[in-house]
Amino acid sequence: MKKINVEKLEEYGFPRKVVDILLDRGIKELNPIQSLAIEKGLLENRNIVATAPTASGKTLIGELALIRHILRREIGVYLVPLRALASEKYEEFKIWEKLGLRIGISTGDYESPGEYLGRYDIIVATYERFDSLLRLNPSWIKRIGCVVVDELHLIGDPERGPVLEMILARLLEDDIQIVGLSATIGNPHELAEWLRAELVDLPWRPVGLIEGVYDRRTKTIVFYHNGVREGVRHRLGHPALSIALQSIERGMQVLVFVNNRRKTEEWALSLADHMKLLAHMIDRGRMGELIEMLKDSPSRNERETLSYLIRHGVAYHHAGLSSVARRVVEKGFRDRVIRAVFATPTLAAGVNLPARRVLVFTKRYDPRSRRMRGIPVFEYKQMAGRAGRPQYDPYGEAVIYDASSLNEGLKYVRGRLEPVISALGSDRSLRIHVLSLIATGRANTIDEIIKVFSKTLFHRQYGSIHGLKYRLEDIIRSLAEWDMVTWSRGRLQATSLGRTTTVTYLDPLSVKIFRENLPVNGLPGVLWILHIITMTPDYRRSRPYIPFKLIEKYEWEARSLAEDGVIPEPDRLEEYEYYYVWLQGYVHAKMLSDWINELKEDDISEEYGVGPGDIYSARDTASWISGSLSHIAKTLGLHRLSRELEKLSMRLEYGVREDALQLVELEGIGRVRARTLINNGIRTLKDLAKTPREKLLKLPGFGPRIVDSIYDQLRSRGII
């Protein structure tokens, strides 16, 4: 396959400094995928859809396109689905600061116009944040020359897909280059045609991939690409554990994907018990560094469990971990201190954590049918793609460990990727994006809305303008009933409530639920508000899982509180689904109430069956919704409620009672240190300024570095 020498980039107008930076990164020539992208017009402003295996260098395709536009004094945007991935790319792109470029990142704060982002040359953002910026329309939006979309296949995702699809539809209306990157698209030609793009579709990988299936009958791994068979000695209770241990003995690092969170922890502990004879493989010094880093974890259970596992070269990784623990596990695996990580599939779609051997499952429990069902081929390929570390391994190995037969496993090894299907057709997606088009002035008639939607993949795949018009009219009628738009003589206009809803990035249905569940008289209590928040679709779409048995445990408590007027009543008890949403919402509200009343993370985890990461995810979502509803309440003229909602948003963010809000504004003073100060009579920033340094140093958790930082911040605020 043809490769382009990086020196040749100067002929495309890149300054020598770009070539030198690439050479410093060890890139002497562009690989076949990168070279083909340039041949297809990447540097000539043509849209590109690049689909190739994981770790094939697709990111550099995006980087070259961005830099090309920056040299023209335009802004480049790099879009990712997850905050963790945004942080990873932001750190990667900092290398371009050597060229004098300024790199920015924006992943939240949907209500901020982000005018300050105009000072950056490359902006890394999540899909949702960029969508919010398009709605708010800061002045620098007009200077965007290129948008790179990572994980383009997520257009088919029910949650993120519609957001990404509408972004791309709007970009197609403007003269902005689109570069889409993905490893798992089953219909790349269709997506390329939709985006008016050149297709770069190569199966090339820098590290070869050998795929195999564990044969239960013969207790061997059968590798299909080279015919090799590897016998597995059964010493542990599950083939995945036995294969993992055997792989480590052979000097490999192993990433084991597991189909549920509980098993990641159980299997990690089980493997750790058998790692004692392999202690010589663990770097004790670097292991100690990781355990020291873990001390910053807010959860004692997490600290103790992961410290034990890391001492034996093992760890687990899932969404329930705190951010501290996730960083420790990822660093330990990249530094080759941790030999095996048991992870849920979220890791495959998130951070880059390759391993020599990856063990993959192909079945997952389906609660609807109450049975195990096969996962999609694209999901298997996402996990298998993590096998093989560039610069370390001659090849990577992906092993299916749960196939019922060799033929079942072979269906995944040889399987065709599923086509990406638009998810824009749900009522939730349509009402959010229709309101956005009206509120931002991009569309003021039904025909103008249809014009925008005609550029979507949804319209391309479903086609019927008549059917689309009927659906859109139905959505607009609902928005009008909810006082968010007016529709007169064919003209559409957003009300102040509609505009606020769009700016805050709330689902219009969330606002409707909020309004309908406000008490008739008086100000609602905190638990009442939390219950409303947890019943909204904005909270429910990303809520952490709380086991059904725990939900049932609180049923009579919830019913009693509703009768006493402490929480909203379930006014449609005969509708089981609605009633369960109400009950589930109460339990989540109770968990959030415990959080803002300063219960320890471990106690909350134990009570509700969640992890620290789950608590923080629920906190972030609820804090955003509360702050957004504060603006809604203000728009409705409910000023006192607006202030209470803003206060609650801050309490949710920091996890504190109301009396600690002032103290936690200082960096380094979290919920624990704030309560320590209050318990010692230091309740305000002025109290803190008057407190002698010696007294602060005697308090638990207040070392010299923290105390010095506190005084520096007080001076900067003019309090000292």
Answer whether residue 420 is part of any domain. Answer: no
E strand or H helix that includes residue 360: strand 357-360
For the segment 608-621, the average pLDDT, to the nearest whole number, is 94
E strand or H helix that includes residue 619: helix 612-635
Clarify whether residues 693 and 591 are in a common domain: no
Considering Cα of 685, then 690, then 696, then 700, what sign does the dihedral take?
negative
CA-based nearest residue to 653, from 681, 615, 682 = 615
For the segment 218-237, the average pLDDT, to the nearest whole number, is 88
Please name every residue paired with 304 in a beta bridge, in sequence order, or none if there are none.
Answer: none
CA–CA distances in Å: residue 260 to residues 257, 405, 605: 9, 22, 17
Give the pLDDT confidence of 670-695 residue by residue, as tens digits: 999 999 999 999 999 999 999 999 99
Count of domains observed in the chain = 5
Helix then strand then coil, in percent of the chain rounded to 5, is 55, 15, 35
Answer whether residue 23 is part of any domain. Answer: yes
Clarify whether residues 168 and 253 are in a common domain: no
Beta strands in 636-679 (DSSP E): none
Clarify whether residues 247 and 281 are in a common domain: yes
Clarify whether residues 173 and 24 are in a common domain: yes
Please name every residue paired with 372 in a beta bridge, in sequence order, or none if there are none.
Answer: 365
Clarify whether residues 691 and 598 are in a common domain: no
Q: Which of 503, 525, 545 is the last residue of a domain?
A: 503
Residue 469 scores a pLDDT above 90: no
Backbone dihedral angles phi then psi of residue 364, each to the nearest 5 degrees: -140, 145
Q: Which CATH number is 16's domain given?
A: 3.40.50.300
For the segment 196-217, the average pLDDT, to the nearest whole number, is 93
Answer whether residue 394 is part of any domain. Answer: yes
Per cent of the chain over pLDDT 90 is: 80
Clarify whether residues 585 and 449 are in a common domain: no
The DSSP code sequence of 367-400 is TTTTEEEEPPHHHHHHHHTTB--TTT-SEEEEEE
Answer whether residue 153 is part of any domain. Answer: yes
The three-class DSSP label of residue 79 is strand
Answer whether residue 418 is part of any domain. Answer: no
Q: Which of 448, 477, 503 is the last residue of a domain?
A: 503
Clarify whether residues 183 and 222 are in a common domain: no
In angstroms, rounded to a whole number, what is the distance separating the alpha carbons of residues 186 and 466?
Answer: 29
Answer whether residue 345 is part of any domain. Answer: yes
Clarify whether residues 223 and 149 are in a common domain: no
In angstroms, rounded to a whole number, what is the distance separating the alpha carbons of residues 471 and 453?
Answer: 12
The rounded mean pLDDT for the chain is 92
Please, which pLDDT band fits residue 240 given cuts at 50, 70 and 90?
Answer: very high
Clarify whether residues 190 and 273 are in a common domain: no
Give the pLDDT confidence of 312-362 residue by residue, as tens digits: 999 999 989 998 999 999 999 999 999 999 999 876 566 678 899 999 999
Q: Token digits for 46?
A: 């043509």
Q: Which CATH number is 612's domain given?
A: 1.10.3380.20
Answer whether residue 421 is part of any domain. Answer: no
pLDDT of residue 272: 92
For the segment 441-446, the average pLDDT, to the nearest whole number, is 93
Output the CA angle 165-60-69, nearest 5 degrees.
Answer: 70
pLDDT of residue 437: 96
Give the pLDDT confidence of 401-417 residue by residue, as tens digits: 999 999 999 999 999 99
Give the pLDDT confidence of 279-289 residue by residue, as tens digits: 666 777 788 89
pTM to 2 decimal places: 0.91
pLDDT of residue 564: 94
Clarify whether residues 401 and 434 are in a common domain: no
Count of CA atoms in the C-beta half-sphere (13 A) of 275? 27
Give the pLDDT confidence of 150-195 residue by residue, as tens digits: 999 999 999 999 999 999 999 998 889 999 999 989 999 999 999 9
Q: Which CATH number is 692's domain given?
A: 1.10.150.20
Clarify whether residues 194 and 240 are in a common domain: no
Please, which pLDDT band fits residue 34 given cuts at 50, 70 and 90?
Answer: very high
Residue 573 scores a pLDDT above 60: no
Give the pLDDT confidence of 56-115 residue by residue, as tens digits: 889 999 999 999 999 999 999 999 998 888 998 999 999 999 999 999 999 977 778 899
Of 169-173, 178-182, 387-391, 713-717, which range is least confident? 387-391
pLDDT of residue 361: 96
State which residues form the domain around 432: 427-503
Please, which pLDDT band fits residue 572 given cuts at 50, 70 and 90?
Answer: low
Residue 405 makes CB contacts below 8 A (sequence gap 6+) with none
Q: Which of 468, 503, 538 is the last residue of a domain?
A: 503
Clarify whether residues 109 and 216 are in a common domain: no
Please, which pLDDT band fits residue 719 given cuts at 50, 70 and 90?
Answer: confident
Distance between first and last Cα of the chain? 67
Q: Which CATH number is 480's domain given?
A: 1.10.10.10
Answer whether residue 422 is part of any domain. Answer: no
Count of CA atoms in the C-beta half-sphere (13 A) of 27? 22
In angstroms, rounded to a whole number, what is the distance separating the alpha carbons of residues 388 and 206?
Answer: 9
151 torsion bin: left (phi>0), alpha (psi -120 to 50), beta (else)? left
